[in-house]
Amino acid sequence: MGNYLEIVGGKYIWVSDLMKQLWCEQQMVYEMEEPSLERETPAMKAGTDLHLARELAVQDIVNVEITSPEDAFAVKLINLIGMAEDFATGAACVRREIPVFGAPYGEGLFLSGIVDEIRCDAETFQLDVVEMKTRANSKTLPSTSQMATHRMQVMLYKKLFDDLVRGAVTKATIALHLRLRLDRRLGDDVLHHLGDRRACDTLGSLTDFAFARLQSLPFVARTTLEYCHQADACCFEMVAVDYDDAWLRAAYARCAGFWRGARAARGVDVEEAWKCRTCEFADTCAWRLRRIEEILSERRSACSER
């Protein structure tokens, strides 16, 4: 049993790591152990390009010179401040690629994610999270298993965002998990992009400012999955996801146990063995080979009892 949190840097995990984990934890571990392999398929590249095109349709990408880990985190905060102020003033009703983070459910892990899209209704001030998924070959929804990972993803985004709004994420939590210095002065280019908020010249003061802005927002009202076909970049189905906090808490706790080193990685259950057919590790996967051996052994026992 390894310390996989250390393998991914020891500080935090991405929401996308959890999605891979839900698909097959063992596969995720094999991929982490061979990080140098190029795994981006043409369909994945097309999906990434589509996300970028949609981001550029509503906002510009600005290069900021980063001189420290504190600067890198400050850029996330600047993005959040911009979103909160744009929604509050009505300057924008859609923002894309929004960073969220936190340590949900007291599981001792720090999570980071990038929300595809948050929409703000100008009249009702209602916020909706929309997660876009692209389909390469057909205008059909993915398998039930795949959709379960998408559901958890969009629910986690709501959880992380709402925790920021309710003030459940503290400066101390950020500093502790990410090993950041709250009193460190931010770099000149970061301060330049802060404009008239340059008085927030440390990560700690900028975090206070960002949290105050976020706490003026409402909680996320609706979570939706938007499925688009890569060929025409058009949405063919919107799927509403009912947020279920008890389900999310339990699913997250199962995932967190692995990252804390409380248990070994698991492969797929027998009912989902079809996932192994397209897995690059199928020939050598210890979990799968053990399962095959167990099944053969059960059959041999059954035959000898007849």
Q: Which residues bind ligand SF4 (CB under 6 A)?
A: 24, 26-27, 30, 267-268, 275-276, 279, 281-282, 285, 287-288
Structure tokens at 139: 């205008």
- Least distance from C-beta 265 to ligand SF4, angstroms? 9
Burial tier of 172 (Cβ tally within 10 Å: 0-12, 13-18, 19+): exposed
- Least distance from C-beta 1 to ligand SF4, angstroms? 16
Q: State whether the Cα torsion 241-235-117-122 is positive or negative.
A: negative
Three-state DSSP state, 244: coil
Nearer to ligand SF4, 251 or 285 (CB): 285
- Least distance from C-beta 218 to ligand SF4, angstroms? 40
Other CB atoms within 10 A of residue 93 CB: 13
Residue nearest ligand SF4, CB atom distance: 267
- Least distance from C-beta 34 to ligand SF4, angstroms? 12
Nearer to ligand SF4, 158 or 275 (CB): 275
Nearer to ligand SF4, 120 or 285 (CB): 285
Q: How many residues does the chain have?
A: 306
Nearer to ligand SF4, 24 or 84 (CB): 24
**Please, are residues 267 and 247 in contact by the beta-carbon 8 Å criterion?**
no
- Least distance from C-beta 273 to ligand SF4, angstroms? 7
Nearer to ligand SF4, 27 or 207 (CB): 27
- Least distance from C-beta 277 to ligand SF4, angstroms? 9
Other CB atoms within 10 A of residue 287 CB: 20
- Beta strand 220-229 with 234-241 is antiparallel
Nearer to ligand SF4, 96 or 288 (CB): 288
Three-state DSSP state, 136: coil
One-letter amino acid identity for 117? E
**φ, ψ dihedrals at 224, nearest 5°:** -140, 145
Structure tokens at 4: 């996989």
Nearer to ligand SF4, 161 or 287 (CB): 287
- Least distance from C-beta 100 to ligand SF4, angstroms? 28
Burial tier of 31 (Cβ tally within 10 Å: 0-12, 13-18, 19+): middle
